[in-house]
Structure 1
Amino acid sequence: MKKLFLIICISLVSMASHSMGRDDPLLTKVMVGQFELRNTEGSDPIVLEAQGWVGKDLNKLWVKVDVENVSGKTDEAELQFLYSKAIAPYWDVQVGWRHDKMPTPNRDWFAVGFQGLAPYFFEIDAAAFIGNNGQTALRLEAEYEIMLTQKLILTPEVEINAYSKDDEATGVGSGLSDIELGLRLRYEIRREFAPYIGVNWNKTYGDTANFSRDEGEDVSDTQFVVGIRAWF
């Protein structure tokens, strides 16, 4: 399934490239939204959330990466390959493949969603996922930038995940699975590079919380973070 999605995405971007003129050059961008150390009661995880794209004005191939490393061991790792089509100013529809490398066993999903800038400048990334054995999932991510000064920016963030079925092997329960809230204050040394500090809170619900308790894990956690945000 994943090979088919990759072939389709590459073919669509290739066709779009041939159909554009010289006034629509091939572009690339890499954005590291979070590269941070989170201070917790136990071992402190290192988190990387990044995404990048290659393509032209209307058609792009996206890659999204989400990794959490604890004590030198990768606890969570998610990778997405997506074909993205602009449908309106500041809005893209995205379709492709999501692969959960960790925790094991691996899970593969068909992904479809949209990403863009909502009214009042809320950045939205929403997606639906269809996995094996009829499993489906929904995810909503949103953030908002508050300009305190030209260089000092406060960013509240939220991520919500929900699943249609229990998947005890990966610790996921049906219904609302988890909510993560963050508040980060960054200082833009340059527009492309900004260190930040902040606080992150997450909580699991329902059967997901029950699975966490069975493994001796906390169902709610508050973390102080320090990290770097960058793009190029």
Structure 2
Amino acid sequence: MLALGLLGAFTLTQTAHAQIITVHQAADAPNASSPTSMPGMSPVMMDQSTWLHGIFNQLEGRYSPQATDFRWDGEMWFGSDYDRLWIRSEGTVANGRMDDGQHDILYSHAISTYWNLQGGTRLDLDSGPTRAWAAFGVQGLALYQFELSAMGYVGGNGGAATRIEGTYDFLLTNRLILQPNVELNAYTRADPSRGVGSGLSEIDTGLRLRYEHWRKLAPYVAVTYNTALGQARHFPDNREANRTALRFAFGLRSWF
């Protein structure tokens, strides 16, 4: 009887151990083949599917008494929760001329739940001289769901550059959202033909109020401020733009 009791206890212990399942968050799993699960469901490979996602955070007309510009800023990615191909594009069109055209093609790999390591290339492609850069940096969510991107670049006109961009959404209601954002650009070498100075060279910031009646197509109004800084303020092409740095904007935010 004692032997049978010990055998039964051993069997129950083995059964209990066999039912233990380690649950991982997608980006925290030890490797891409680790199982994930949801409460009340059997383990599934939730994080191995591939997806296509694109968003235009800015599709807007910027107005001032002296000038009117059209501005876009968008990105698209394809891949899984771990590895993605990113394409980013931003630029401004004014008086038939395209300026500030920056286009990134990046490979992105998840290094934690909220952060991705990115590397690839950037092309400055617009009405000015074309520049090509090697790109590397991080992108993700900082504390309190603050979206942050910090990128470094090498090449261009033989120097280095950095771009830091941050965005945050304040939910005034379930559909009315206030979004401040700021973008800073700095360079180690001046490039007057592109209106770029050494040091902190440009700031582009704005405060946008959008209404998401349709989640994928939300109109907004905004106040924006874009100007050259430091050495770049003294370049002839930037002097007029600095006088119209503060503008009102109307636009659409769209995603798929």
Q: TM-score, normalised by structure 1?
A: 0.86
Mapped contact 1:156–1:184 kept (Cα < 8 A)? yes
Instruction: Find the partner of 2:242 among 204, 219, 222.
Output: 219
Paired residues, number: 213
Q: CA RMSD in A?
A: 1.9
What residue is the counterpart of 1:81 in the other structure?
A: 105
Report 1 or 2 for greater relative contact order, CA contacts < 8 Å, sequence distance ≥ 6.
1
Mapped contact 1:103–1:170 kept (Cα < 8 A)? no
What residue is the counterpart of 1:10 in the other structure?
A: none
Distance in 2 of aligned mates of 1:103 and 1:164: 22
Shift in Å, 1:75: 2.8
What residue is the counterpart of 1:37 in the other structure?
A: 61
Instruction: Find the partner of 1:106 among 117, 121, 130.
Output: 130
Any residues of structure 2 matched to 1:128-167 within 5 Å, and which? 128-132=152-156, 134-167=158-191
Distance in 1 of aligned mates of 2:90 and 2:111: 26
Shift in Å, 1:209: 0.5
Task: Tell me: CA distance 1:60–1:188, structure 2 relative to 1, closer, same or farther (3 Å).
Answer: same
* Unpaired segments ≥5 residues, structure 1: 1-18
Whichever residue aligns with residue 251 of structure 2, its letter is G
Shift in Å, 1:38: 0.4
The range that moved more, 216-225 or 145-154, is: 216-225
Instruction: Find the partner of 1:63 among 81, 87, 96.
Output: 87
Whichever residue aligns with residue 222 of structure 2, its letter is G
SS at match of 1:120: helix
Shift in Å, 1:120: 1.3
Shift in Å, 1:42: 2.9
Shift in Å, 1:189: 1.1
Higher strand share: 1
Q: Deviations over 1:154-176 (max 9, x none)?
A: 01111111100111121111001
Distance in 2 of aligned mates of 1:196 and 1:215: 28
Q: Which runs of 4+ in 1 moved over 3 A?
A: 19-23, 213-216
Mapped contact 2:58–2:251 kept (Cα < 8 A)? yes
Between the aligned residues of both structures, percent identity stands at 39
Any residues of structure 2 matched to 1:184-203 within 5 Å, and which? 184-203=208-227
Mapped contact 2:228–2:238 kept (Cα < 8 A)? no
Whichever residue aligns with residue 60 of structure 1, its letter is R
Shift in Å, 1:190: 2.2
Mapped contact 1:117–1:123 kept (Cα < 8 A)? yes
Task: Tell me: CA distance 1:111–1:120, structure 2 relative to 1, closer, same or farther (3 Å).
Answer: same
Q: TM-score, normalised by structure 2?
A: 0.78
Larger Rg: 2
